[in-house]
Structure 1
Amino acid sequence: MNLHEYQGKELLSSFGVRIQRGIVAQNADEAVAAAKKLTEDTGTSWHVIKAQVHAGGRGKGGGVKLAKSLDQVKEIAGQIIGMDLVTPQTSAEGKRVHQVLVAEDVYYPGANEPKEYYMSVLLNRGTGRNMIMYSTEGGMDIETVAEETPELIFTEEIDPSTGILAFQARRIAFNLGLSGMAFKEMTKFVTSLYKAYVESDSSLFEINPVLRTSDDKIMAVDAKVSLDDNALYRHKDLAALRDLREESAIEVEAGELGLNYVDLEGNVGCMVNGAGLAMATMDLIKQAGGEPANFLDVGGTADAARVEAAFRIILKDKGVKAILVNIFGGIVRCDRVAQGIVEAYKNMGDAMNVPIIVRLQGTNADIAKELIDNSGLDVMSATEFQEAADKVQAVLA
């Protein structure tokens, strides 16, 4: 589950991580009130207005702007709230902005020039250990840094039995070229950041940039936080931060129905039981010249109600030109699935307006094929994987 920047910063702050302070606003008037409050609390006279959407690259799309007066705060907030923000990480349609973060200006003049760094915490799946990735090149796409100057990217792996050790935090600060007060600040920052990551059961923290201010403070100016969905039962407070407006409406509805669904950009809907079989089915569709429109795992209880719900979810995507049902009858018998498909088809009537190819293998597969073939419905049955692929290819031709 992804958090908004302001939510991620609040989480970091609760673990002692210094953050760029800000107040979220739902409209232009709230943005002005937030700016006034920040001026009172922090002394800042300029404010940064940031669109709050689940996508990176907001500045490139016009979603992050500096306001040098309260009039500009109102004007900029009014422009950003309600816009469809297009960034390198959104679709061409962009994401609707419902709120902005009004933040303090932390690039103030001082003894030193402010400096930006990159830092993230994530799992290294190759070693099974958490890893801190960091670079002196903050404020840039880390992919660009990795491609053009890979020697500027450092990593620090953490032993799960000990957690991050003091010498590791010092090594990170040293590799970033820090000294004096900034060095001490960075070691504290890194230690608190890692603690926040572990204790919140997160899957990713990305802070870009981490800022060394002109007076040698170290703070998070941005915060991308992804929580591990499998651990949310332990964090009811964090689960409550979910913003359904930022997620696919179809995926949200499928989740409420207990279906594992991922929306994709293709023309063949997939209804499968088991994640591995679902991936193989998507490959099959690709080889047949189609593109999978979704990943949908109905699980082990593919009864009529569940199958009908799955069909309705798939058909909400107007780009679907055919549906491939590929079920292995292990936990559930194939004839029961076939009966569910027939009943669902009849219940949906005219809503079932695309060709359907059904491949059922496993327990009672022969009975299932007979049920499908004798149903009188416009459903094509298949026994072998290749046969299913050929029929997908035929209906798309």
Structure 2
Amino acid sequence: MNLHEYQGKELLASYGVKIQRGVVVEDINEVEAAYKKLQDETGTEYCVVKAQIHAGGRGKGGGVKVAKNLEDTKEKAGDILGMMLKTPQTPGGVDGPGKLVRKIMLAEDSYAPDFDACKEYYVSILLDRGSKRNVIIYSVQGGMDIEQVAEETPELVHKEFIDPALGLQAFQARKIAFNLGLSGKAMKEMYKFITNLYKAFLGSDASMFEINPCMHNGDDEIIAVDCKVSLDDNALYRHKDLAALRDKLEEDPTEVEAGEYGLNYVNLDGNVGCMVNGAGLAMATMDIIKLSGGSPANFLDVGGTADAERVEQAFKIILKDPEVKAILINIFGGIVRCDRVANGIVEAYKNMGNITVPIIIRLQGTNADIAKKIIDESGLEVHSAIQLQEAADIVKKVIA
């Protein structure tokens, strides 16, 4: 689950991480009061108007602007609030529809009074699955795309791996500060920043923190000017307060709907809809569709309770995609019996009554023979397969 920038900063601040302060606004009529509140708290006349969407590259798309005074803030807030912001990370990229900006944050000018004295760094924490350890990635090249930095100047990107049994050690935090070229008070501040940031990462069961830029200002303070926070969905049951921060309007509406029915769904850009039980089988099904010349339109795991209602909802969700030219149902009967799934498919198909795309059904496992008989005698216009390759060959034929 992703958080907005302002939500992520509130989380960091609760663990003692210094942040760029700001006030969130959802209505243009709230701007003046928010600006005055920010001025009273920070004393800066300049402010930064920042779009709050779940995507990076906001500045390049016109979603981050510096305002000089109240009137300038009102004007720039009016430009950003309600705009369709397009960045490389919004749906379809810069050529796509973009995302509607429903909230903005008026943030303090953290670079005042001496912009030239400030330095920007990149700091992130995430799980490195290869080494089975958390890793802190950092660079002196903050404010830039880290992928570009890693490609053009890889020697400027450092990694510090954290032993899960020992946690972040003091010498590692000091090493990070040293590699960033800091000394004196600034080094001590970076030590505190990294230590508290890692505590926040563990304490919130996050999957990623990205602070870009992490700023060293003229007073030798280390501040999170921007942040991206992704939380582990599987751990949200332990964090009811964080789960309540979810903004469904920022997520794919089809994926949100699927989640309400207990379906694990991810929208893709292919032409063959997939309905499978089990993540591993789903991945294998997507692979063989690709190898057969098709392209998966989605990842959809119906789980172990593939009853008629769930199958019907899965059909409806898949068919919302106009690019779907065929649907492959691939079920292995282990926890759930194949005959139960077959009855669910038949009932769902008849309830919908308007399925026009070809459907290929492969049911293997417990009571697979009974399931095949149910499908064959149902009168449904579907293709039945026994082997996965056979199902893939039928997919190739029907989408040709």
Task: Please give the alpha-carbon distance, in whole angstroms, between the structure 1 residues aligned to 2:223 and 2:274.
Answer: 46
Unaligned runs of 5+ in 1: none
Mapped pair 1:79 → 2:69: no
Mapped pair 1:108 → 2:112: yes
Contact preservation (8 Å) 1:112, 1:215: no
Q: Which of 168, 171, 180 lines up with 1:167 in the alignment? A: 171
Q: Note the alpha carbon deviations across 1:356-382, whole angstroms, 9 max, x for none.
A: 110111122222222212211111111
Contact preservation (8 Å) 1:265, 1:293: yes
Contact preservation (8 Å) 1:111, 1:215: no
- Counterpart of 2:140? 136
- Counterpart of 1:70? 70
Q: Report SS of the residue matched to 1:238.
A: helix
Task: Please give the alpha-carbon distance, in whole angstroms, between the structure 1 residues aligned to 2:115 and 2:327.
Answer: 65
Q: Note the alpha carbon deviations across 1:32-81, whole angstroms, 9 max, x for none.
A: 22111111111111010010000011111110011112111111111111
Deviates more, 1:217-226 or 1:378-387: 378-387
CA deviation after TM superposition for structure 1 residue 98, in Å: 0.4
- Counterpart of 1:4? 4
CA deviation after TM superposition for structure 1 residue 268, in Å: 1.0
Q: Which of 354, 357, 360 lines up with 1:354 in the alignment? A: 357
- Counterpart of 1:29? 29
- Counterpart of 1:247? 251
- Counterpart of 2:268? 264
CA deviation after TM superposition for structure 1 residue 31, in Å: 2.3
Contact preservation (8 Å) 1:8, 1:224: yes
Kindly provide the amino acid, as one letter, of the partner of residue 201 in structure 1: D
Q: Which of 321, 335, 343 lines up with 1:317 in the alignment? A: 321
Task: Please give the alpha-carbon distance, in whole angstroms, between the structure 2 residues aligned to 1:64 and 1:265.
Answer: 30
Mapped pair 1:218 → 2:222: yes
CA deviation after TM superposition for structure 1 residue 284, in Å: 1.4
Q: Report SS of the residue matched to 1:163.
A: coil
Q: Report SS of the residue matched to 1:6.
A: helix
Kindly provide the amino acid, as one letter, of the partner of residue 284 in structure 1: I
Unaligned runs of 5+ in 2: none
TM-score of the two chains, using structure 2 as the length reference: 0.97
CA deviation after TM superposition for structure 1 residue 147, in Å: 0.5
CA deviation after TM superposition for structure 1 residue 112, in Å: 6.1
Contact preservation (8 Å) 1:29, 1:74: no
Mapped pair 1:16 → 2:16: yes
CA deviation after TM superposition for structure 1 residue 161, in Å: 2.7
- Counterpart of 2:301? 297
Mapped pair 1:202 → 2:202: no
- Among all aligned residue pairs of Structure 1 and Structure 2, give the percentage whose two residues are the same amino acid: 70
> How well do the aligned residues superpose, as a CA RMSD in angstroms?
1.2
CA deviation after TM superposition for structure 1 residue 117, in Å: 0.1
- Counterpart of 2:233? 229
Aligned residues: 396
